[in-house]
Structure 1
Amino acid sequence: MPRNFSEHSQVLSCMNEKQQRYEALVHAFHADIYRYAFYLIKDKSIAEDVVQETFLRAWRSLDALKDEKAAKAWLITIVRRENARRFEKKQFDTVDIDTNPVVDDTVFTEQSLQEADMQRLLLMLSEPYREPLILQLLFGYSGDEIATQLNLNKNTVMSRLFRARNQLKELLSKQNGEKGRHNG
C-alpha cells in the first residue's frame, strides 16, 4: 500500500506541475498569440478558435517544451500550423449576397479608424512581406528570430522587411495623396 500511495503522489505532483506550467504559458502569451492569429486570419471568432486549439495542442505537448525561452516561438509555430489545417479540408460555403443584408452598427473612434487603416494597409502587402513585418511589429522579433520562425535565411528576411516597409511607405503616400485630392 505505501508504494501505491507514493506512485499516486508522484503522479499528482507531476500533474500539478504541468498545470502550473500551462497556466503560466497561457497567462504570459495568450494576448500575443491571439493578436498574431487575428492578423493571420482576419476574423475574430475564427482567430479565437485557432488560439483555443493552439493552447489545447500546447497542453498535449507541453512535456516536449524543454526550453521555456522558446515558448513564444513554439506557440507561434502551432498557430501557423493550426491556421494551415483550417484549409486542408475546408469546403467554403457560398451565400447569395442579395438575400442576406448586412448591417454594420459599429461606432468608430479616431484611434480605431487609424488602427483599422494601418491593418488594412498591412493586409495589402503580399504574404511573404506581411508575415515577417507583423512578427517584427507585434512581437519585436529580430531578423534572426524571424528567420528561425519562418525557416528562412536571415538575408531573405531582412530583404523582405526592407521591401515590406517600402511598400507600406508607398501605400501611405498614395493614400495621403488621394486624401489630399479629395479634401482639397
Structure 2
Amino acid sequence: MPTPPVKGDVNPKQRQYEAMVRALSADLYRFAWWLSRSETVAQDLVQETFLRAWKNLDALRDAESAKAWLFTILRREHARLYERKRLEVVELDDTLPEDAAYASPERSGDAAQVREAIGRLPDKYRAPLAMQVLGGMSADEIAESTGQKAGAVMTQLFRARQQLKKLLGGRAAAEGGRT
C-alpha cells in the first residue's frame, strides 16, 4: 500500500519547477526587458513564460535544456503580444524635455549610447546578442532556443558585434576620436 503524502510534502515536478524559477527568473526578466523595453511587459512575459512552462513541464525532456526551452517560450510569448493586439501609434513632440524623475544613469552617457546602438541592430542579430550577453547562454543554447544551427548563431553574434562596433565607432569619429 503506497504511503500517503505528508502535509507540506512537495512532488518532484513542483520541486523541479521551483528550482527552475529560482535559477532562471532573473535571466528571463533581463531578456524580456530587452525584447519589450518595458518593465511591466517584461514582468508579464516572464510570468506567462513560467505559467506555460508549468503547464507543459512534462514536455521538458532534459533538465539541462531548461534555459533554452524557457527562452523559446518567452520569445513566443513576446510574439503573441503583437499577434493579439495592435498598438496605437501616437506622435510625440520631440521638443518635450525629459522628466528628471524618470532620468536614470542608463538613459544617458555611454550606457545609453550602447543601448541605443544595440536597439538599432536588426532583430536577427539583436536577439542572439541579448541572449548571450543578458542570458548568459552559449551558442549551442541559443541555437536550440531559436531552432538554428550553432554555426549560424556564431555568425549572427559575430556580425552583431561588427555592426555594433561600426555604430559605436561612427559615434567616436563624430566626437573627434574620443573613446
State the one-letter code of the partner of 1:146: I
Hey, what does 1:129 align to over in structure 2?
125
Structure 1 partner of 2:12: 17
Aligned to 1:70: 65
Deviation at 1:9, TM superposition (A): 3.0
Greater RCO structure (CA 8 Å; 6+ sep) = 2
Pairwise CA distance, 1:51: 0.7
TM-score by length of 2: 0.82
Structure with greater helix share of residues: 1
Larger radius of gyration: 1
Change in CA separation of 1:66 and 1:102 when aligned onto 2, cut-off 3 Å: farther
Closer/same/farther in 2, CA of residues 9 and 102 from structure 1, 3 Å limit: farther
Flag structure 1 segments of 5+ consecutive residues without an equivalent: none
When residues 155 and 45 of structure 1 are mapped into structure 2, their CA distance, relative to the original with a 3 A threshold, is: same
Structure 1 residues 35 and 156, CA gap change in structure 2 (3 angstroms): same
Which consecutive unaligned segments of at least 5 residues does structure 2 have? none
Taking a change above 3 Å as real, the CA distance of residues 38 and 110 of structure 1, as seen in their structure-2 partners, is closer
Residue identity (%): 44
Tell me the TM-score normalized by structure 1. 0.80
- The verdict on how the C-alpha distance between 1:73 and 1:106 changes in structure 2, with shifts beyond 3 A counting, is same
Q: Give me the CA root mean square deviation.
A: 2.9
Question: Is 2:60 the partner of 1:60?
Answer: no
Residue 176 of structure 2 corresponds to: 180
Give the direction of change, closer, same or farther, for the CA distance of 1:65–1:36 in structure 2 (3 Å limit).
same
- Alpha-carbon distance in structure 2 between the residues aligned to 1:7 and 1:116: 59
Aligned length: 175
> How far apart, CA to CA, are the structure 1 residues paired with 2:160 and 2:59?
35
Q: Could you say if the C-alpha distance between residues 92 and 108 of structure 1 is closer, same or farther in structure 2, counting changes exceeding 3 Å?
A: closer
Taking structure 1 as reference, are residues 22 and 113 closer, same or farther at Cα in structure 2, changes over 3 Å only?
A: farther
Say if 2:29 and 2:43, in contact at 8 Å, map to a contact too. yes
Q: Structure 1: which amino acid aligns with 2:43? A: E
Change (3 A) 1:110 1:18: closer
1:33 corresponds in structure 2 to 28
Q: Counterpart of 1:47? A: 42
The 1:112–1:33 alpha-carbon spacing in structure 2 relative to 1, beyond 3 Å, is farther
